[in-house]
Homo-oligomer: A and B are copies of this chain.
């Protein structure tokens, strides 16, 4: 591996070449995870263009040894990364990782099969069917979303992809009745807390941007989307000839971790024949614990549900589960059948069995990775009990942090915590304290530039708030205690100024 293992032609898949390159990367990763706690979470040098000055701007003419490549990763790339796997990463939502997730990804990438259709790699598509059923059952989804109950699931790369697929299915179901010109009358409903991916998704599928209704939420509803507001908006739209098409309910919003009242929203969706999608990208993972399953109440009435094991369930990027009650609504909108994908033997087998799924018709692209084996390795390796313990460990740390914030009179918890996300801020020092937002911003910036933790913010009801999202595989209570100490310190500094 040190010197080049090949002459003019790379022996790209020789077992020795694989062993050499891969073992060097494993050693690198073992070092990385030994030290990841010591890196500044966000790079200390935030100067755009830094890397372009450091590394060559052209591919080398001759291959280079893996050691040199890894030296450059160590010296030039690591110092410029934001370390999502640091135990001190509390920003956005987690994208956690694990030994099993990595091992699963290595199997996926190592076997490198492309299961776009059953015949293109039968066991790979069949494993996907099994694993989405397993995962759905773990979350307590009703049988109608499982293959075993007439529905079914698919692994996408992202929520956006899942959303676009369901929007296309809902849109084409409506347009098949109304005619294509009615696309300008289709309306999508969401709250001001719904993830931006829905607005982007609606635009992508051709819904006119003004037809995306962003309904306000408030503290009174815990920032959940009030069903009455959707009903009023949809009634009003329907009365003036618009077509209510699609309603997004979120379980665990990105800004605040709020939960929409899915059951009540399902009633409104049914009233107008709307497609109801439940986005549980982050909080869905918590539903593997019975004590959190209540937040998915009513999801059994939805048309589709999605959650991302790549966020909080130890599954390395990427992996998003989408379940639908009616697979044909997806495949009617997304199927293609070009000659070059037909398989003589496969087609015969396919026609005889619902067990032979062509996943290309459940997603946007044709090609796809063997993600199923990754999620399957995670489930097998940690088991339901191990995964529940993992979720509860973070929730317990979040409880501790929430109590600590509430006990410090300088701070306040902004919304009641439901999962592992705590939203808080420095209180105003007096009625009408104009500096409070600026002070919170200063604290956040001081924490982040210290390199000892990385958090992000949100703005709700015009107030700047700080978010602590716990979910790193290496994050323990000690790291949460540390960041709280750091926040208190920086608060004292800011208030003293």
Contact = CB atoms under 8 A, between A and B. Distances in A.
Contacts of A373: 73, 77
Contacts of A488: none
8 contacts: A8-B386, A49-B355, A55-B127, A77-B373, A85-B111, A196-B336, A196-B337, A200-B334
A95 B367 CA distance: 9
A138 B57 CA distance: 11
Nearest to A346: B46
A457 B345 contact: no
A50 interface: yes
Copies in the complex: 2
Contacts of A377: 69
A32 B62 CA distance: 28
A356 to B, nearest CB: 4
A23 B52 CA distance: 34
A8 to B, nearest CB: 4
A26 B158 contact: no
A177 to B, nearest CB: 15
Nearest to A288: B59
Interface string A100-111: 111101110111
A484 to B, nearest CB: 20
A240 interface: no
A15 interface: yes
Interface stretch (A113-121, A289-297, A410-418): A113-121
Nearest to A201: B364
Contacts of A485: none
B30 A19 contact: yes
Nearest to A78: B123
Interface stretch (A180-188, A226-234, A259-267): A180-188
Interface in A119-162: 119-124, 126-127, 129-130, 133-135, 137-138, 148, 157-161
A288 to B, nearest CB: 9
Interface string A56-86: 0111111110101100010011111111110
Contacts of A47: 349
A286 interface: no
A317 interface: yes
A352 interface: yes
Interface string A336-347: 111111111110
A181 B180 contact: no
A365 interface: yes
Given A34-B15, A42-B345, A474-B13, A8 B385 contact: yes
